[in-house]
Structure 1
Amino acid sequence: MYVIGLQEKNCGIISLLNDTAFEDTWSSFFMDVLSPLSFIKGNKGGVHICMKLYGYYVSIINCHLPPHMTNNDQRLEHFDRILEMQNFKGLDIPNILDHDLILWFGDMNFRIEDFGLHFVREAIKNQCYSDLWEKDQLSMAKKCDPLLREFQEGPLLFPPTYKFDKNSNNYDTSEKKRKPAWTDRILWRLKRKPKDDPHISRLLAPHFSLSQKSYISHMMYSISDHKPVTGTFDLELKPLVSVPLITLTPEGLWTLENDMLISYTLTSDFLSSPWDWIGLYKVGLRDINDYVSYIWVGDNQVFCSDRLNQVYINISDITETEEQFLLCYYSNILRSVVGISKPFQIQPRAFMVADTFKDQLQN
């Protein structure tokens, strides 16, 4: 899974004039949705995505907190406020603090206090980053803020990522000469575990765990006054949902000659729709629209029992290939793929002609 978070679009004079005359479609789309909810456009805040992964709740927050050395209290206030606002009304989703994992990242704008510009730059030059950690505002806040303390972060073993002259690796040489800082951060929080008997806890294997494999900056990119930061994680879990909502099976030997039969079963709690569809894809698909053929399950059903359903799909227009295929069931209600078959092959026409001729000779 790749998660990419961006902060700040170009706010130069040309960009501002363009925005005044022509609002970009991205902003226009969001404001059509958010304006009725009393939101207005601002240049700081957070974006939250929540997903249910094999029965676990995973939240991802990308944020841009207030800047400047003296606004640390305001940053912490925004941090708490963003968390408090993450309630999904009417969707039966628990409070974000009850989610199994929160990944929080972005331009948090925390600065390095007390030390002067010369000391900070010398420490960076000599890679003595540990001398700066104790005065990093985020690190200090984690020691006293109960909620922030629950978030973990990997060691800052890379140079501060702010502020650089654009198109260079030189820290700010403008008149302001802003002090370098680790403004771009990646944090995570695992759900608090109940205080069970420690003896029992040792016997039970963890069902959900996250470990960070890397936490680095990328100095080669210079189009911004920040250097991008990436974190790589291993997420291990024991699925709480052991049975997929839909199980798909291609029946018999598939050829390019005829309509082919698909069997699929539904779990008892799955709510189907006449607008659900099954797509045939080549293995390695990148998008849900990459199908080579599809059928509406409501219009093409040939058999239906308590759980088992069967439909035909036409594949005669598919180009012959040695690639493998798979079937995906798309739920219109859930707006997502809820079932994927195992990969299989479709036999080419030439193979079937030769095989039929062989059978005739034997007869």
Structure 2
Amino acid sequence: MSTGRFRSGGRDKCRMHMVTWNVATAEPPEDITSLLQLDVQPPTDLYVIGLQEVSSSPVRFISDLLVEDSWSHVFMDTLAPRGFIKVTSVRMQGLLLLVFAKQVHLPYIRDIQTTYTRTGIFGYWGNKGGVSVRFSFYGHMVCFLNCHLAAHMNYALQRVDEFEYILETQDFDISESPNVLDHKVVFWFGDLNFRIADHGLHFLRSSINSGRLNLLWSKDQLLMMKKKEAFLQEFEEGPLNFKPTYKFARNSDTYDTSSPKTWFGFNGKKRKPAWTDRILWRIKPKDLPSEDDEKASTCTDDGQDEYPIMVTQDKYTSDMSYGVSDHKPVIATFSLELRKCFDTPMVHISPVGVWSADQDAVLTYTVQEDFMSSTWDWIGLYKVGFKSASDYETFVWVRENELPETNEVIQISVDKDEIPLLGGQYVLGYYSTNMQSILGLSSNFQILESKRAVMEGLVPEGINGINK
């Protein structure tokens, strides 16, 4: 973390922006600027976006497996010019979870793994369930779990059972944190589908219109279930000081209180507004020590850090300006204060000399810390503003025959035919197949425009000092 502006009392502070939105099979809006609050100060470091009911008809779902879905595209296209790279994503039918990070953080996001659990229609079709992403962030284990739980007023207990089932069944190939609740911090969010019980429609409308939302909290099913279920009490949530986010008439700020359809027609009960869309978090209790806790405490300055990572919620609200869905998106921003367990990338990479497509280029890399490297690891050439680890211009395999020793300087040649003719600002990144992450990035560097670009008529002669 380039952390001069973040350092706070021996810790580093990172800002995270989270969104949960049931998009009700709609296509994304053209402008998601206010949803992401792109110009907020201090600037954001991590974006975590959880969507539910992304269009997932069989034909559409298969096509989205071949290319990025339209929602991923709009987030990547919006965030990449701001220097955010997609760290990873996971999709299960209509559930989609995306994680983006500022480029400077990429080498410190390691051991990325994803998984999912189906709960809907006997578990065979992923219309309900949970998708999760876990990784180590500067040495601290974090997990993000995006859920879509059972609908309808009378299924509060089933929703809790489904969440418990998701927690029990999701596991990771990581010895320090094999289960969701083993992580130091867990963020649980999504269309959790909890409703407001008992109150009639007139009382709900009156309370919402007068801004007396606190009158509804005691009958919010999630808050009620937290009083009964010990494991839910470990999850924190900010106050519900925003209007219930379900159910709206599309393209309006008016609640849709029509009667919902069932397989047998209308059921006669009008829909009532509810806080179905929620964002909660859990810090691992101190009385459940783990290997991760021991590692975290030994990597601090004084070895006495009780909480190697602290979470503060700065904002919890909804954005009423979006109308493509019958749900409004919910936004939460957090400050993560942590003591970094390391601040040196595992791999150091540098371009050597001048790069242009007129001659073969050379790069060097050095493994600075032992890790489970592989001959399937590769080094990508990325244009500055790239969208994800797979968004490279070209790549070269690391040394094929044997893995390098720590601190050994390895030199690799890049064929001139693989180098962009028009040049520009680029960066090199070492991608680890085992850790599913970029472990080292070079500084940004200039690739010169090639003389071949002029010869092939791609640019006029005399531009940028070529062939003057």
Name the residue aligned to 2:170: 86
1:318 paired with 2:420, answer yes
Which of 332, 341, 345 aligns to 2:446? It is: 345
Q: Which amino acid aligns with 1:251?
A: V
Distance 2:372 2:61 in 1: 38
Deviation at 1:102, TM superposition (A): 0.9
Q: SS at the partner of 1:328?
A: strand
CA distance in 2, matches of 1:42, 1:278: 35
Give 3-state SS (helix, strand or coil) of 1:120's partner: helix
Offset, 1:80: 1.7
Q: What is the alpha-carbon distance in structure 2 between the residues aligned to residue 270 and residue 27 of structure 1?
A: 33
Point out where structure 1 has 5 or more consecutive residues left out of the alignment.
Answer: 355-363
| Correspondence list, 1:1-363, <5 A | 1-8=46-53, 24-25=61-62, 40-41=124-125, 43-88=127-172, 90-92=173-175, 93-175=177-259, 176-194=269-287, 204=305, 206-254=307-355, 257-267=358-368, 269-298=370-399, 307-315=408-416, 317-321=419-423, 323-346=424-447
**CA deviation string 1:102-148 (max 9, x = no partner):** 11111111111222211111010011111111221111222332111
Rounded to whole Å, the distance in 2 between the matches of 1:337 and 1:208 is 23
Any conservation in 1 of the 2:145–2:186 contact (CA below 8 Å)? yes
2:86 matched residue in structure 1:
none
TM-score, length of structure 2 as denominator length: 0.62
Q: SS state of the match for residue 230, structure 2?
A: coil
Contact 1:293 1:315 survives alignment (8 Å): no
Distance 1:213-1:255 versus aligned 2 partners, 3 A rule? same
Query: 2:401, 2:426 → 1: CA distance?
Result: 20
Whole-angstrom CA distance in 1 between matches of 2:116 and 2:450 = 54
CA contact (8 A) 1:300 1:311 kept: no
Q: CA deviation at 1:304?
A: 8.0
Q: Radius of gyration: which is bigger? A: 1
* Percent of aligned pairs sharing the same letter: 44
* Helix, strand or coil at the partner of 2:193: coil
Q: Which amino acid aligns with 1:276?
A: D
- The structure carrying a bigger strand percent of its residues is 2
Q: What CA RMSD, in Å, does the superposition of the two structures yield over aligned residues?
A: 3.7
Deviation digits for residues 26-50 of structure 1 (CA, Å, limit 9, x no counterpart): 699969x999xx9521532212222
- Distance of aligned partners of 1:252 and 1:133 in 2 relative to their CA distance in 1, 3 Å threshold: same
Shift of 1:9: 5.3
Contact 1:123 1:132 in 2 (8 A): yes
Query: Any idea what SS the aligned residue of 2:364 has?
Result: strand
Q: Which has the higher contact order (CA 8 A, sep 6+)?
A: 2
Structure 2 residue matching 1:77: 3-state secondary structure: helix
Shift of the 83–58 alpha-carbon distance from structure 1 to 2, 3 Å rule, reads same
Alignment partners' CA distance in 1, 2:187 and 2:136: 14
- For structure 2, the 5+ residue unaligned runs are 1-45, 67-91, 94-114, 260-268, 290-301, 452-461
Cα gap change, 1:179/1:91 in structure 2, threshold over 3 Å: closer, same or farther?
same
Quote the Cα distance in structure 2 between the aligned partners of 1:305 and 1:214. 44
Following the alignment from structure 2 to structure 1, what is the Cα–Cα distance between the partners of residues 209 and 315? 22
| Kept after mapping to 1: 8 A contact 2:356/2:420 | no
User: Is the contact between residue 316 and residue 331 of structure 2 (CA under 8 Å) also seen in structure 1?
Assistant: yes
**1:5 aligns to what SS in structure 2?**
strand
Contact 1:283 1:326 in 2 (8 A): yes
C-alpha spacing 1:70/1:209, structure 2 compared with 1 (3 Å): same
Distance 1:128 1:215 in 2: 17
Q: May I ask how many residue pairs the two structures share in their alignment? A: 335
- Alpha-carbon distance change, 137 to 163 in structure 1, aligned in 2, over 3 angstroms: same
Which residue of 2 is the match for residue 361 of structure 1?
A: none
